[in-house]
Amino acid sequence: MANEKNERATTGTRRARQPLERSAARARSDSAFLRRLRRHHDELRWLYMELYDNGAMFAELCDQMKAFYDARPEALRALDARREGRAWYRDRDLLGMQMYIDNFAGTIRGVEDNLDYLERTGVNYLHLMPFLDTPADRSRSDGGYAVSDFRRVKPELGTMDDLAHLAERCHELGISLCMDFVMNHTSDEHEWARRARAGEGEYMSRYFFTGDQALIDRYTRDVPQVFPTTAPGHFTYLPELGQSVMTQFYPYQWDLNYKNPRVFNEMMYNFLFLANQGMDVIRIDAVPYIWKQLGTNCRNLPQVHTIVRMMRMIGEIVCPGIVLLGEVVMAPVEVVPYFGTVEKPECHMLYNVTTMATTWNSVACRDTRLLRRQLEAVCGLPRTYTFLNYLRCHDDIGWGLDYATLSDWGMEEVPHKRYLNAYFQGLTEGSVSRGELYNADPVTGDARFCATTASMCGVEAAGFAGDAEAMDVAIRKDVMLHAYLLSQSGLPIVYSGDEVGQVNDYTYHDDPERADDSRYIHRGRFDWSLVDRTDEPGSVQQRIYDAIQRLEEVRRTEGVFDADAEMSVVGYSDPSVLWVRRRAGERTLHAVFNFSDEGRTLWMPERGEYTDLVTGERSEFETFELAAWDFRWWLG
């Protein structure tokens, strides 16, 4: 047993250390481990016993933490020591990019060969979309989110060694790596699922099996659908067992049963194994769903918070340099609790999902009032709560807006969503957006939306029509939204391709393994020819790429963008104008954005001298002009 455990921890760690070096390092490291364990032990044990009441399994967890700690490469331990107690992920010079390995460069080695492009683009945080082994049939992999083996890379992308090598190279260049940890489910080809399907009770207990239709009906009644059109229902019937297994997402994604401590322990070992490959940020996928309780909606249950808190402590004991990024796509009141409390934190960082959706709402309505409220709510949170900001990601945009407020303003949920979806599909008067609906629910009339940033801003439509004037506006809108993204506190993430204005990819329609999932419209292969065009003065790509580059450069060098700067929203009289103020010491930034189709004359709070941070020009004035969808960063 001890050997087996040891093997679990060390498999896949590449460098064997020399004996002498090892004993000195071990003495030092043991004391660091013990110090960290001592700090968290009582609380960890308390929470574990509260959930599982199983001392033997807790002891195993502790042994394994030590084994993973011992197996952690020296360079990563040194990084931990440098990062411990420092919120490195809040540095204003961080710029993230999210990408699929195959779309960007074919393989993990391909990514390594192209790191110079990322460096040139100023990217120093890289989220590699799911790359662990999944069913070979791509129509059963959910874009990598149906994991068959947490310790094996998809063979066509490379190996664990390639990954660890990439991580090492990235660390040399000051780039951090983020990966997905799909906790809620495994694919039905995972070894546990295969053994469960074969009727092995121990493995069946790692999932939720039932033959009771009444129970299934109760879940169906109480639990909302994740994919109402593409994968309706919560259970999948397995004829070979005469039983159904819980599958909240796709039928080939079996929900794990975290009531079983074996599941929790093994998943924590997987997490630590991946951390030891050099991952800096672990994105905990679909985390609100991991605990199921009949009679509830099975979302955000208190036990989820216990598990995330335990995970945070386990990380801080074994690998304190790593960051937990929670994927919590929920209403704002459900999102913030995943930070935990200041004394007992859970996730280090969360997606700023409501702000993202509300931003596009402002684009469609040319009205920033709801966005102002949302930003004010974010500004009112403790500064240590760090958000990951983004304009779009690999998933659809769900219209999770504050409908109570919208209703006070005469906009009701269903017709409003209908308007947003029509607008972004380019079906309403004056809309320049292009894209497709996702999971349109015939029952609720609900639908989400998919497209790239450039397509939503009008680059696709203007390019298709060959309309230079419309292209100017589209580029301005695209750049303005990036400026707005970079004006927020937290970590900005650009989706690969958005930096060169890549538009929608409709070829997924011809791919039978993908045609059902419109999210592939914005997950196209990275078009390197667009990068070539960034050298052509006046090209769309050059204008977008250079503008975003300049914005990042300003953000990196200017203290008003510090995560600790005081941010507030100005209640400017014109609802189509968003005015954000950031203050650090004596310096004040006025970040002003025109979310309207017409130019505006705007008034500064007082006549004075201001520097345009983008051009560097300083001038004295009281009013200034802002073209449609333009912005200014004025430093006062």
Residue nearer to ligand GLC on the CB measure, 234 or 590: 234
Please report the sign of the dihedral spanned by the C-alpha atoms of residue 390, residue 395, residue 397, residue 399. negative
C-alpha dihedral (93, 99, 102, 103), degrees to nearest 10: -110
C-alpha separations of 373 from 42, 378, 417, 424, 597 in Å: 41, 9, 19, 23, 22
- Told to judge if 598 belongs to the known catalytic residues of this protein, a careful annotator would answer no
Q: CA-to-CA distance for 136 and 155, rounded, in angstroms?
A: 10
Nearest approach, Cβ of 104 to ligand GLC (angstroms)? Answer: 17
Nearest approach, Cβ of 144 to ligand GLC (angstroms)? Answer: 8
φ and ψ at residue 566, rounded to 5 degrees: -85, 120
Nearest approach, Cβ of 572 to ligand GLC (angstroms)? Answer: 35
CB nearest ligand GLC: which residue?
145
Residue nearer to ligand GLC on the CB measure, 395 or 467: 395
Q: CA-to-CA distance for 454 and 464, rounded, in angstroms?
A: 13
Residue nearer to ligand GLC on the CB measure, 146 or 483: 146
Q: Which of 597, 390, 369 is nearest to 486 (CA)?
A: 390
Q: CA-to-CA distance for 80 and 173, rounded, in angstroms?
A: 17
Strands (E), 404-490: 436-438, 448-450
* Contact footprint for ligand GLC (CB under 6 A): 142-143, 145, 182, 249, 285-286, 327, 394-395
Q: CA-to-CA distance for 431 and 433, rounded, in angstroms?
A: 6
C-alpha separations of 18 from 21, 23, 93 in Å: 5, 9, 37
C-alpha separations of 213 from 189, 230, 237 in Å: 25, 22, 11
Nearest approach, Cβ of 60 to ligand GLC (angstroms)? Answer: 28
Residue nearer to ligand GLC on the CB measure, 48 or 252: 252
Residue nearer to ligand GLC on the CB measure, 36 or 283: 283
Q: CA-to-CA distance for 557 and 481, rounded, in angstroms?
A: 20
C-alpha dihedral (598, 603, 609, 611), degrees to nearest 10: -30
Q: CA-to-CA distance for 334 and 374, rounded, in angstroms?
A: 14
Residue nearer to ligand GLC on the CB measure, 394 or 632: 394
Helix or strand run (H / E) with residue 257: none
Chain-centroid distance, C-alpha 469 = 34
3-state secondary structure (DSSP) of residue 8? helix
Report the 10 Å Cβ neighbour count for 386. Answer: 22
Residue nearer to ligand GLC on the CB measure, 203 or 520: 520
DSSP for 49-66? HHHH--HHHHHHHHHHHH
Nearest approach, Cβ of 231 to ligand GLC (angstroms)? Answer: 10
- Percentages helix, strand, coil for the chain, rounded to the nearest 5? 45, 20, 35
Q: Which of 246, 266, 265 is nearest to 254 (CA)?
A: 246
Nearest approach, Cβ of 586 to ligand GLC (angstroms)? Answer: 42
Residue nearer to ligand GLC on the CB measure, 190 or 416: 190
Q: Could you say which of 112, 189, 280, 285 is catalytic?
A: 285
Nearest approach, Cβ of 142 to ligand GLC (angstroms)? Answer: 5
Strands (E), 274-316: 281-285
Q: Could you say which of 162, 189, 327, 505 is catalytic?
A: 327
Nearest approach, Cβ of 218 to ligand GLC (angstroms)? Answer: 23
- Give yes or no for a contact between 154 and 134, defined as CB atoms under 8 angstroms apart: yes
C-alpha separations of 383 from 56, 313, 378, 566, 589 in Å: 39, 21, 9, 9, 18
Residue nearer to ligand GLC on the CB measure, 180 or 367: 180
- Told to judge if 327 belongs to the known catalytic residues of this protein, a careful annotator would answer yes
Helix or strand run (H / E) with residue 207: none
Nearest approach, Cβ of 311 to ligand GLC (angstroms)? Answer: 17
Q: CA-to-CA distance for 622 and 618, rounded, in angstroms?
A: 13
Nearest approach, Cβ of 509 to ligand GLC (angstroms)? Answer: 19
Residue nearer to ligand GLC on the CB measure, 143 or 426: 143
Would you name the residues annotated as active-site residues? 285, 327
